[in-house]
């Protein structure tokens, strides 16, 4: 499901960014992302992925059959998928097809040309040891653990476990059937719709019936301790804790199990929760993750977030992404501020709710944390560059940009902008330019200077947004917000595991 962008201006922008050559289904050509030109594919749109997998934790053997239900957007005598694993066979519309692999591209040549605007069903059978497979400098998204593995990465993750049109612009629903040795758990996104034990295997059926980008699909296999529940509003909850957490299990549970409450709080600002399941997976030290990721309905967290006690801030961050990144997804990776700026700001909002420091206080502390000559200010969050999509600036200055907007337009318009954005781009993609347009439309203000200052200028703005006029004041320095340490620690962790 590739969702078209709203405005003519935005459409013109896309045309300008996509090199003409990307339109042809040339092997290696991507969907036209300015930061990651080889990612994704043209010529078709996937509507649904059906993945039938078997995983052996002892040998790291993953065997799979992936069925992609797609629609062609042009006539195809060949097309590509993003995938690194060894492929046994490919069929297109029931007929065996030629296939070859190069880099992260699997090229498929259907035995008959598929006409434009037709349904195309692609079946890929494969088997490999994902932990042995890599591509260039790209960090592997396959994290093997003592008792299994976790598939998790951004911007790329599917390459290690299913063939995909791996770009946020192509969203699809998912069915994942995963078979593991008896006694192990296998966790993916959405709702657990079935579970059975047969011939010494446990089988889990997961269903994500709302569109998801490919990097937001995850798989975790291991000896997890599971807490299943239902929220007051009827959402099924599935939380999983690695057995390796030991003394961190308490703090992890004290944080993750507050998910329903955090979600209720966030619904007041962002609108109704867009999915029909909720949960989280907490990895143990053996996963060596170091980061968390907002995988749809079920974020995955490194144990490290709970190393200093409970941390509801990281949960607020990942759950806010369910709206900011998952429900409304970036159109290109340059739009990453729409994900990280708002998820980081959601930590400040949660701090206000918890009475552990206001967004204004956190904005001032964040601004002061980076001296004017720090390299931090040279990375504009509106265009951080492909190597820096998870730079501290995208998070901290990104949150400052959101606060600057709030200060500029006032509480009421700020609230309306956030909600309207979610409504207008429900289950779709959007750009920063569209966000700026909407903010100006709702507030009736010219906000160009505000956004230029906070998103695009490679230097430190004059003062924190909303900070009281500086004068030769006798005021004592404001007290450090109680949430400051935890939020700062979250920043360090997000960046450590980065690209």
List the catalytic residues. Answer: 318
Name the residue nearer to ligand ARG (CB basis): 340 or 361.
340
Residue nearest to Zn ion (CB): 343
263 in Cβ contact with 319 (< 8 Å) = yes
Tell me: does residue 330 bind Zn ion (CB under 5 A).
Answer: no
Shortest distance, position 99 Cβ to ligand ARG, whole Å: 30
Helices within 131-278 (DSSP H only)? 249-256, 259-270
Residue 209: Cβ within 10 Å count: 15
Euclidean distance between CA atoms 159 and 215, whole angstroms: 10
Please give the distance of CA 334 from its chain centroid, rounded to a whole number. 14
Q: Which residues of 144-168 are buried (b: 16+ CB within 10 A; e: fewer)?
A: bbebbbbbbbbbbbbbbbbbbbbbb
Tell me, residue by residue from 199 to 228, as one string, x for binding to ligand ARG by CB under 6 A and - for no binding. Answer: ------------------------------
Q: Taking CB positions, which residue lies at the least distance from ligand ARG?
A: 497
Give one DSSP letter per residue of 29-67, joined into a string. --S--SSSTTSS-SSEEEEEEEEEEEEETTTTEEEEEEE
**99 or 397, CB closer to Zn ion?**
397
**Candidates 9-17, 23-31, 169-177, 339-347; binding stretch for Zn ion (CB under 5 A):** 339-347
For residue 396, the partner it binds in Zn ion, ligand ARG, none, with Cβ less than 5 to 8 A by kind, is none
The minimum distance between CB 41 and ligand ARG, in angstroms, equals 23
Per CB under 6 A, 335 contacts ligand ARG: no
Strands (E) located in 267-401: 278-282, 292-293, 300-301, 328-330
343 lies in the binding site for Zn ion (CB under 5 A): yes
Q: For residue 415, what is the enclosing H or E element?
A: helix 411-424
Find the shortest distance in angstroms from Cβ 494 to ligand ARG. 5
Closer by beta carbon to ligand ARG, 304 or else 430: 304
Interacting positions 274-333 with ligand ARG (CB under 6 A) = 291-294, 317-318
The tokens of 255 are what?
Answer: 């944080």
434 lies in the binding site for ligand ARG (CB under 6 A): no
Q: Which residue has the tokens 């494969």?
A: 126
DSSP H or E stretch at residue 418: helix 411-424
Look up residue 157 and give its two tokens.
């993750």
The listed partner (Zn ion, ligand ARG, none) that binds 291, CB under 5 to 8 Å by sort, is: ligand ARG
CB nearer to ligand ARG: pick between 208 and 443: 208
Task: Tell me how far apart the alpha carbons of residues 42 and 37 are, in angstroms, rounded to a whole number.
Answer: 12
Among 42-50, 247-255, 335-343, 415-423, the segment contacting Zn ion (CB under 5 A): 335-343
Shortest distance (Å) from residue 47 CB to ligand ARG: 25
**Minimal distance, residue 471 CB to ligand ARG, in Å:** 37
Which residue, 42 or 310, has its beta carbon nearer to ligand ARG? Answer: 310
Q: Does 497 bind ligand ARG (CB under 6 A)?
A: yes
Q: What are phi and psi of 149, to 5 degrees?
A: -165, 160
Q: Could you tell me the smallest distance in angstroms from the CB atom of residue 168 to ligand ARG?
A: 12
Residue whose C-alpha is closest to residue 77's, from 43, 119, 114: 114
In this structure, the strands spanning 61-72 and 44-56 are antiparallel
Tell me the number of residues near ligand ARG by CB under 6 A.
12
Please, which residue, 260 or 304, has the CB nearer to ligand ARG?
304
Contacts (Cβ under 8 Å, ≥6 apart) of 328 = 338, 421, 422, 425, 426, 428, 429, 430
Query: E strands of 389-456, at which residues?
Result: 428-430
Smallest separation, CB 139 to ligand ARG (Å): 6
Q: Name which of 188 and 339 has its Cβ closer to Zn ion.
A: 339
The item of ligand ARG, Zn ion, none sharing an interface with residue 498, based on CB under 5 to 8 Å by kind, is ligand ARG
Nearer to ligand ARG, 91 or 143 (CB): 143
Determine contact, residues 166/40, Cβ cutoff 8 Å. yes
Residues 376-395 that bind ligand ARG (CB under 6 A): 390
- E strand intervals along 283-432: 292-293, 300-301, 328-330, 428-430
Please choose which of Zn ion, ligand ARG, none residue 126 contacts, taking the beta carbon within 5 to 8 angstroms, the exact cut-off set by kind: none
Q: What are the structure tokens assigned to 366, written together?
A: 């964040």
The residue within the footprint of ligand ARG, chosen from 142, 273, 333, 494 (CB under 6 A), is 494
**Nearest distance, CB of residue 19 and ligand ARG, angstroms:** 27
Q: Which is nearer to ligand ARG, 208 or 329 (CB)?
A: 329
Distance (Å, rounded) from C-alpha 60 to C-alpha 42? Answer: 32
Subset of 138-157 contacting ligand ARG (CB under 6 A): 154
Min CB(158)–ligand ARG separation in Å:
15
- Among Zn ion, ligand ARG, none, partner that 39 touches (CB below 5 to 8 angstroms by kind): none
Cβ within 8 Å of residue 479, ≥6 positions away: none
Q: Which residues pair with 49 in a beta bridge?
A: 68, 174
Convert residues 12-31 into a mask of x (bound to Zn ion by CB under 5 A) and - (unbound).
--------------------
Please report the beta strands in 290-336, taking only residues with DSSP state E, as ranges in sequence order. 292-293, 300-301, 328-330
Alpha carbon distance 318, 280 (integer Å)? 9
Binding site for ligand ARG (CB under 6 A): 154, 291-294, 317-318, 340, 390, 494, 497-498
Q: Which residues bind Zn ion (CB under 5 A)?
A: 340, 343
């Amino acid at each position: 499901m590739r969702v078209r962008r709203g405005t003519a201006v935005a459409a013109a922008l896309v045309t300008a960014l996509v090199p003409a050559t990307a339109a042809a289904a040339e092997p290696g050509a991507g969907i036209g992302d300015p930061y990651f030109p080889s990612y994704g594919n043209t010529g078709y749109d996937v509507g649904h992925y059906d993945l039938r997998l078997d995983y052996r934790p002892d040998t790291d053997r993953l065997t799979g059959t992936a069925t992609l239900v797609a629609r062609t957007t042009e006539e195809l005598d060949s097309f590509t998928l993003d995938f690194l694993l060894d492929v046994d066979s490919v069929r297109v519309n029931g007929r065996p097809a030629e296939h070859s692999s190069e880099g992260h591209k699997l090229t498929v040549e259907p035995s008959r040309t598929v006409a434009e605007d037709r349904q195309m069903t692609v079946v890929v059978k494969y088997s490999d040891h994902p932990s042995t497979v890599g591509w260039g400098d790209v960090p592997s998204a396959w994290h093997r653990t003592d008792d299994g593995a976790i598939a998790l990465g951004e911007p790329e993750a599917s390459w290690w476990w299913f063939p995909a049109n791996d770009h946020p612009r192509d969203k699809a629903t998912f069915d994942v059937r995963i078979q593991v040795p008896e006694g192990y758990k296998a966790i993916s996104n959405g709702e657990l719709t079935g579970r059975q034990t047969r011939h010494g295997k446990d089988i889990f059926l997961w269903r994500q019936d709302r569109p998801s980008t490919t990097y937001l699909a995850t798989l975790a296999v291991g000896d997890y301790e599971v807490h299943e529940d239902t929220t007051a509003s009827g959402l099924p909850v599935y939380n999983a804790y690695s057995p390796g957490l030991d003394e961190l299990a308490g703090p992890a549970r004290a944080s993750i199990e507050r998910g329903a409450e955090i979600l209720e709080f966030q619904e007041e600002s962002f609108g109704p929760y867009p999915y029909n399941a909720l949960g989280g997976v907490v990895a143990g030290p053996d996963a060596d993750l170091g980061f968390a990721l907002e995988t749809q309905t079920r974020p995955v967290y490194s144990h490290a977030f709970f190393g200093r006690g409970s941390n509801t801030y990281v949960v607020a961050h990942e759950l806010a992404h369910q709206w900011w990144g998952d429900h409304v997804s970036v159109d290109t990776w340059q739009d990453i501020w729409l994900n990280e700026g708002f998820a980081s700001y959601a930590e400040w909002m949660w701090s206000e709710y918890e009475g552990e420091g206001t967004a204004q206080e956190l904005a001032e502390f964040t601004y002061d944390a980076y001296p004017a000559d720090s390299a931090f200010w040279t990375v504009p969050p509106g265009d951080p560059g492909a190597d820096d999509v998870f730079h501290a600036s995208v998070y901290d200055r990104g949150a400052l940009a959101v606060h600057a907007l709030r200060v500029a337009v006032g509480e009421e318009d700020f609230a309306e902008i956030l909600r309207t954005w979610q409504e207008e781009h429900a289950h779709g993609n959007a750009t920063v330019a569209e966000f700026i347009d909407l903010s100006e439309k709702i507030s009736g203000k010219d906000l160009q200077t505000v956004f230029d200052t906070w998103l695009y200028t490679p230097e430190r703005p004059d003062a924190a947004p909303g900070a009281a006029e500086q004068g030769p004041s006798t005021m004592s320095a404001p007290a450090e917000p109680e949430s400051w340490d935890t939020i700062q620690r979250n920043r360090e962790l997000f960046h450590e595991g980065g690209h």
